[in-house]
């Protein structure tokens, strides 16, 4: 095995990233080493690439970026039993303590000691990555690795959509970035009766329509509140999946959410949002659920089952597959918004 590897790393506190050679990571007795075959670019990676205010407060260069990936297990620690050499795996990217109250009560997704791949420690934009074996998710090797590499963000969509009963319900997915597009797909697969996609980007709305959205609304061109109510007999939608983090979109969604409805919120606003708690929450009797990561590990079981059911459209959601050395093109696509998921691939070792 090689002693060094190629990585894409944030090496300096400025925009961009650098291809940097680093040692192949060592593993502990409870870890595995994975040869990365495909890794997808997340919105978080774009924030780090742009070196915005959030990344300046969180990232400590030099650090290997990336956290969504799939690959082959090439080394296992001496105490590892659940993963074997040659397995194809993806990974839960939140590494938790397994000891706190939240971890021990089945709520590890909100562990206060979480370390995130590519954010708090070296990530997956590399030829190899070391992870705890407990974070490995064994996958069907017949599934293309570019699809397996997006299972982590798919898990975010699954967690958001299935945080409430959606069978026979009307749903508005607000914000149709890659995870929002996945949420549209999951909602249709889970039996929602009406799925409305909301976004300011016509490319993404067209993609949502391709995978089955019943209505696609661009608030720049249409009165969103009036249109949603007209599609729901004047009552509003049963469920809002808020993926945008946009303050205006959040306020509008609260207006067209049905009395007694549910709002699951994954989008993260960059500023405080002022809302009318009395009229939009209390008197409407709605439920708001905050989504962080994936439930460990029930969301993964749901996600893998949906993929194996062939009810999802990952072939349409993964719009661009590029060789790793074309990473600049991948980031340009992500910044343009005219893409679904962008995946970077490595060659399998000969």
CA distance 169 to 163: 13
Bridge partners of residue 257, in order along the sequence: 237
Provide the pairing of β-strand 68-76 with 94-95: unpaired
List Cβ neighbours of 92 (8 Å cut-off, separation of 6 or more). 135, 137, 152, 294, 296, 297, 300
CA distance 215 to 238: 15
Active-site residue, from 44, 90, 160, 345: 44
CA distance 282 to 287: 9
Bridge partners of residue 170, in order along the sequence: 194
Question: Cα dist. 77→3, 29, 72, 172 in Å?
Answer: 18, 4, 15, 45
Please, where are the H alpha helices in 59-130?
Answer: 101-104
Active-site residue, from 4, 7, 39, 47: 47
Provide the pairing of β-strand 318-323 with 18-23: unpaired
Active site residue 44: yes
CA proximity to 178, closest of 144, 145, 196, 201: 201
- DSSP-derived letter for residue 279 is I
List Cβ neighbours of 298 (8 Å cut-off, separation of 6 or more). none
The count of residues in the chain is 350
Q: For residue 219, count other CB atoms closer than 10 A to its CB.
A: 17
Would you call 227 exposed, middle or buried from its count of C-beta atoms within 10 A (0-12, 13-18, 19+)?
Answer: middle
Active site residue 222: no
The set of catalytic residues is 44, 47
């Amino acid at each position: 095995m090689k002693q060094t590897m190629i990585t894409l790393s944030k090496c300096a506190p400025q925009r961009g990233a650098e291809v940097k050679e680093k040692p192949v990571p060592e593993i502990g007795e409870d870890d595995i080493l994975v040869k990365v075959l495909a890794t997808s670019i997340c919105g978080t990676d774009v924030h780090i690439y742009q070196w915005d205010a959030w990344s300046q407060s969180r990232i400590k260069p030099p650090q290997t970026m990336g956290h969504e990936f799939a690959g082959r297990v090439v080394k296992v620690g001496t105490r590892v039993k659940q993963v074997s050499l040659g397995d194809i795996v993806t990974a839960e990217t939140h590494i938790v303590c397994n000891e706190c109250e939240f971890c021990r009560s089945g709520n590890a997704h909100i562990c206060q000691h979480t370390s995130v791949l590519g954010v708090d420690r070296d990530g997956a934009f590399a030829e190899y990555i070391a992870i705890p074996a407990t974070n490995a998710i064994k996958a069907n090797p017949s599934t293309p690795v570019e699809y397996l590499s997006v299972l982590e963000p798919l898990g975010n969509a699954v967690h958001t959509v299935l945080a409430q009963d959606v069978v026979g319900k009307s749903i508005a997915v607000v914000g149709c970035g890659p995870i929002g597009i996945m949420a549209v797909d999951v909602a249709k697969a889970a039996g929602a009766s009406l799925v409305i996609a909301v976004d300011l980007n016509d490319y993404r709305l067209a993609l949502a329509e391709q995978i089955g959205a019943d209505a696609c609304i661009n608030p720049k061109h249409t009165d969103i509140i009036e249109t949603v109510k007209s599609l729901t007999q004047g009552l509003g939608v049963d469920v809002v999946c808020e993926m945008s983090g946009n303050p205006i979109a959040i306020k509008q969604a609260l207006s067209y959410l049905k009395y007694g409805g549910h709002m699951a919120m994954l989008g993260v606003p960059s500023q405080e949002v002022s809302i009318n708690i009395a009229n939009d929450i209390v008197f409407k009797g709605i439920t708001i659920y905050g989504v962080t990561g994936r439930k460990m590990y029930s969301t993964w079981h749901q996600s893998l089952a949906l993929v194996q059911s062939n009810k999802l459209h990952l072939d349409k959601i993964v719009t661009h597959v590029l060789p790793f050395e074309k990473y600049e093109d991948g980031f340009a696509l992500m910044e343009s918004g005219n893409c679904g998921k962008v995946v970077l691939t490595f060659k399998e070792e000969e």
